[in-house]
Structure 1
Amino acid sequence: MKISIERSALLRAVARAQSVVERRNTIPILANVLIEAEGDTVSFRATDLDIEVVDRAPAQVERAGASTVNAVTLHEIVRKLPDGALVRLVDDGASGRLSVEAGRSHFALATLPRQDFPVMASSEYSTNFAAPAPVLRRLFDKAKFAISTEETRYYLNGVYMHVADGETGPVLRCVATDGHRLARIDADLPDGAANMAGVIVPRKAVNELRKLLDDDETEIAVSVSETKVRFATPGIVLTSKVIDGTFPDYTRVIPTGNTKRLEVDAGDFARAVDRVATVSSERSRAVKLQLEEDRLVLSVNAPDAGNAEEELVVGYADEPLSIGFNAKYLLEIAGQVDRENAVFLFNSSGDPTLMREGDDASAVYVVMPMRV
């Protein structure tokens, strides 16, 4: 194999590959990236056996071929090369080394046999559809903060993507929950997605997918089977196993009878919560919300550190209410609001609270209260 490639294109591809690679590997080949050159394209493939990413980039291919080399080492080398450099990658197939040359810099990296590199088996995808990058970005970005980190409840360690009944018909929906808070985000159902089986996309795949969704002009081809999900752009293909488990019936925890309505500027609210929570160093910092007509008082009482209080002018016309929440959960939910105002719907101090972005019901959040 003998190729020449622009440093910027190489860096982008290798960066995506090395982010999939696990740092601690008992199987040496899984630390490597598979480089395959043919025609005028070079592909970089990395996997941890659960996720596989393939990134293609244009290159001058003098001799087709393939090689595998440590992904992290190659990324570090390319990252430190000067902008605009033309990088030559050469593997003669006999020396067990990949030569990396750029200007006066020269590196010889150890390789492993390409035939040892595991390629994820292709799947028969039962559902195929396309969705604009901004649509998928909104679905996953707004849901992922609620993914559980409890390994024992593995079926909550991802985002549940499925077809559901919305207010005006079927929608593509993403849901995540850790038992303390829940996010449910809807989007218009894309053509071809109607019969999609619900799948739980793992946290790592959600984070890797985010890197594909930055370009607003890109259409993402989505393919779903019972065991795998694939997201593809013209240059990148991300394939992931889905979590083998049953996502719980989340509809039972979304309250429908909450009538006490609070409307508040989302930015002002988040900043106020952040300020009053400063006095407490506990992980589960409890913030108390005291509501009266058009008035909200946020307070924190930390006996060891002190106390804090801040008042906000809000829209509230129901009976007085006092309720507590984990400050971190409040901040994360308030951070999802794209619109100016956040709407909270309460029932009582002991019941789950519903939060929406203004009057938009396509994004709904639920947070459990705390005793304060």
Structure 2
Amino acid sequence: MKFSIERAALLKAVSQAQAVVERRNTIPILANVLMEAEGDRVRFKATDLDIEVIDSAPAQVERAGGTTVSAVLFHEIVRKLPDGALVQLEEDQAAGRLSVTAGRSHFSLATLAREDFPMMASSDYAANFSCDAPVLRRLFDKTRFAISTEETRYYLNGVYMHVAEAEGGRMLRCVATDGHRLARVDAPLPAGAEEMPGVIVPRKTVDQMRKLLDDDDLQIAVSVSETKIRFATPDITLTSKVIDGTFPDYARVIPSGNTRKLEVDAADFAKAVDRVATVSSERSRAVKLSLDEDRLTLSVNAPDSGAAEEELAVAYGDEKLEIGFNAKYLQEIAAQVDRENAVFMFNGAGDPTLMREGGDESAIYVVMPMRV
């Protein structure tokens, strides 16, 4: 194998691939990236046996072939090469080495045989559809903060993507919860997604897939089966196993009878929570919300460190209410609001609270209160 490639194109392709590789591996080949040169392109493939990413870049291929090298080491080398450099790569099969040359820099890297690189089993996908990058980005960005990190409840360690019935008809819906807060976001159902099985997309897959979605003009091809999900752009294909478990009946925890309505500027609210939470204890992070007519008082009383209080002008016309929350949860939910105003719907001090963005019903959030 022998080819030349622009440093910028090489770095972009290798960055995407190496991010999938686990730093601690008992199987040496899984620490490597597979590169295959053919025609006028080079493909880079990496996997941790649960996720597989394939990226490709244009190159001047003199001799077709393929080999594998340490993904992290190779990425570090390419990252440190000068901008605009033309990188030449040549494999010496007999010596088991890959030579990397750019200008006056030369590296010789150990390789492992491409035949030993594991392939993810192919899958028959039940649904294939296309989705605009901004739509997918919104679905996952607004839900991933609520993914649970508790390994024992593994079925909550991802975003539940499924087809749901809503007032406006059938929707593509993403839901995430950790038992303390919940995020539910809807988007119009793309053509071809009608038969999509509900799947739990793992956190690592969500993080990796998110990197594909920065270009607003991209169309993402999505394929879903009972066991796998695949996201593809013209250059990159990300295939992942889904979590083998049953997502809980989230509809039961979304309150429908909350009548006390608070409307507040989302940015002002998030900043105020951040300020008063400065003195809260690291363990509880509790903030008390005291609601009176058109006034919200946020307060923290931490015996070890001090107290804080801040008042905000809000739109509120219901009975007085005092309710406590984890400050981190409030900040994360307020950060999801794209519109100016956040609308909170309360019932009582011990009941879950509903939040949405202005009059938009397509994204709703639920947060559980805490004693303060």
Flag whether TM exceeds 0.5 (same fold).
yes
2:312 counterpart of 1:325: no
2:64 counterpart of 1:75: no
Report the counterpart of residue 182 of structure 1 in structure 2. Answer: 182
CA drift at 1:186: 0.2
Q: Which amino acid aligns with 1:50?
A: D
CA drift at 1:195: 1.0
Q: Which amino acid aligns with 2:39?
A: G
Report the counterpart of residue 296 of structure 1 in structure 2. Answer: 296
CA drift at 1:283: 3.4
Q: What is the SS of the residue equivalent to 2:120?
A: coil
2:287 counterpart of 1:308: no
Q: Which amino acid aligns with 2:319?
A: E
Over aligned residue pairs, what C-alpha RMSD do you find?
0.5
Give the conservation status (yes or no) of the 8 Å contact 1:284–1:328: no
Q: What is the SS of the residue equivalent to 1:138?
A: helix
CA distance in 1, matches of 2:176, 2:139: 11
- Counting matched residue pairs gives 372
Q: What residue ranges of structure 1 are gaps of 5+ in the alignment? A: none
Report the counterpart of residue 3 of structure 1 in structure 2. Answer: 3
Report the counterpart of residue 271 of structure 1 in structure 2. Answer: 271
CA distance in 2, matches of 1:117, 1:284: 47
Give the conservation status (yes or no) of the 8 Å contact 1:36–1:43: yes
CA drift at 1:92: 2.6
CA drift at 1:284: 2.6
CA distance in 1, matches of 2:204, 2:36: 25
Give the conservation status (yes or no) of the 8 Å contact 2:280–2:287: no
Report the counterpart of residue 251 of structure 2 in structure 1. Answer: 251
Report the counterpart of residue 206 of structure 2 in structure 1. Answer: 206
CA distance in 2, matches of 1:227, 1:216: 28
Report the counterpart of residue 19 of structure 1 in structure 2. Answer: 19
Give the conservation status (yes or no) of the 8 Å contact 1:337–1:357: yes
CA drift at 1:55: 0.3
Q: What is the SS of the residue equivalent to 2:333?
A: helix
Report the counterpart of residue 364 of structure 2 in structure 1. Answer: 364
Q: Which amino acid aligns with 1:20?
A: V
Q: Which amino acid aligns with 1:67?
A: T
Report the counterpart of residue 61 of structure 1 in structure 2. Answer: 61
CA drift at 1:121: 1.2
TM-score normalized with structure 1 length: 1.00
Q: Which amino acid aligns with 1:343?
A: V
2:143 counterpart of 1:143: yes
CA drift at 1:166: 1.4
Q: Which amino acid aligns with 1:310?
A: E
Q: Which amino acid aligns with 1:150?
A: E
Q: Which amino acid aligns with 2:122?
A: S
TM-score normalized with structure 2 length: 1.00
Task: Tell me the alpha carbon deviations over residues 39-61 of structure 1, each in whole angstroms, 9 at most, x when there is no partner.
Answer: 00100000000000000100000
Report the counterpart of residue 127 of structure 1 in structure 2. Answer: 127
Report the counterpart of residue 86 of structure 2 in structure 1. Answer: 86
CA drift at 1:76: 0.3
Report the counterpart of residue 35 of structure 1 in structure 2. Answer: 35
Task: Tell me the alpha carbon deviations over residues 159-187 of structure 1, each in whole angstroms, 9 at most, x when there is no partner.
Answer: 00000011210000000000000000000
Q: Which amino acid aligns with 2:25?
A: N
Task: Tell me the alpha carbon deviations over residues 221-248 of structure 1, each in whole angstroms, 9 at most, x when there is no partner.
Answer: 0000110000000000000000000000
Report the counterpart of residue 195 of structure 1 in structure 2. Answer: 195
CA distance in 1, matches of 2:282, 2:42: 50
Report the counterpart of residue 222 of structure 1 in structure 2. Answer: 222
CA drift at 1:93: 1.6
Report the counterpart of residue 335 of structure 2 in structure 1. Answer: 335
CA distance in 2, matches of 1:55, 1:89: 17
CA drift at 1:95: 1.1
CA drift at 1:281: 3.7
Q: What is the SS of the residue equivalent to 1:122?
A: coil
Q: What is the SS of the residue equivalent to 2:8?
A: helix
